[in-house]
Amino acid sequence: MLVMVGLNATAQWDPGATQSLGMGHGFNALSQSVMSNTFNNANKGTSKAENADYIYFGFSNFRGFEEKIFNQLVANDKNVDKGKIRRFLSDSRTMHQFNIRSRDFGLKDTYISDILATGIAWNWEMYHQTKSSKQKVINLRNAIRGNMAKGPVKTQIAKLSATDKTDWMMSFMYNNAMLAQTIKNTGKLTATQKQQLAQTAKQAGVENIASVSLK
């Protein structure tokens, strides 16, 4: 995991800070496989796949992953303000943010497909500065879940260890939450942050978030 950090006096995260965090464990190809053709089928109300991958995160998982981020940042810059890093990570409240947004979309935060759909919809809303359609987000989740049940993708996911799955989803969730916190701190969506949202979507397997419609 490589993260370049810049913290100013107001503890706002550098817009580039999360760029390499999201899929920093080598899951780009897997994410692209999961998302392949997903948006083409998202509006067709694809039925749920029976083998949707259940995943559970407890508070200790988030604390552990947050500590990984903190340690990496400190290792990269011995003079960085540790208090500001911890406050920013705490303010991101990834577990809380995803739980709320998943429920708002009618999804759960205990399935990989639901987490991916929640994160992508959240990213889309920040990029387009508008509310997404709840039904389209559900359709997106169903399409992701159906794609995950296909042979090649199912095989790839089956090869992941529990730790790999946790790191994949944690990094995905933190990338969205930390970027959202940066935008909140700024008070508006800047051109740089919009580029960052597009890059984050690419890391999640969505090639062009600007051309996607969830409204």
CA atoms lying within 13 Å on the CB side of residue 86: 7
Residue at 173 is within a domain: yes
21 pLDDT higher than 70: no
How many domains in the chain? Answer: 1
Residue at 16 is within a domain: no
Residue at 79 is within a domain: yes
pLDDT tens for 140-161 read 999 999 888 888 888 888 888 8
Residue at 11 is within a domain: no
Query: What pLDDT shows up at residue 136?
Result: 94
Query: What pLDDT shows up at residue 103?
Result: 95
Give kind and range of the element (H or E) at residue 121: helix 112-128
Residue at 14 is within a domain: no
Neighbours of 15 (CB within 10 A): 20
Q: How far apart are CA 97 and CA 182, in angstroms?
A: 14
* Cα–Cα–Cα angle for 192, 198, 202, rounded to 5 degrees: 140
What pLDDT band is residue 47 in, cutting at 50, 70 and 90? low
- Give the residue with greater pLDDT, 107 vs 23: 107
What pLDDT band is residue 15 in, cutting at 50, 70 and 90? very low
Residue at 176 is within a domain: yes
pLDDT tens for 72-96 read 778 877 887 888 888 888 887 888 8
pLDDT tens for 91-118 read 878 888 899 999 999 999 899 999 999 9
Residues spanned by the domain of 42? 28-209
Residue at 3 is within a domain: no
Query: What pLDDT shows up at residue 28?
Result: 67
What pLDDT band is residue 46 in, cutting at 50, 70 and 90? low
Neighbours of 56 (CB within 10 A): 9
Residue at 149 is within a domain: yes
- Give 174's contacts (C-beta < 8 A, 6+ positions apart): 18, 21, 22, 65, 66, 69, 92, 94
pLDDT tens for 158-189 read 888 888 888 888 888 888 888 888 888 889 99
- pTM here is 0.81
- Give the residue with greater pLDDT, 211 vs 42: 211
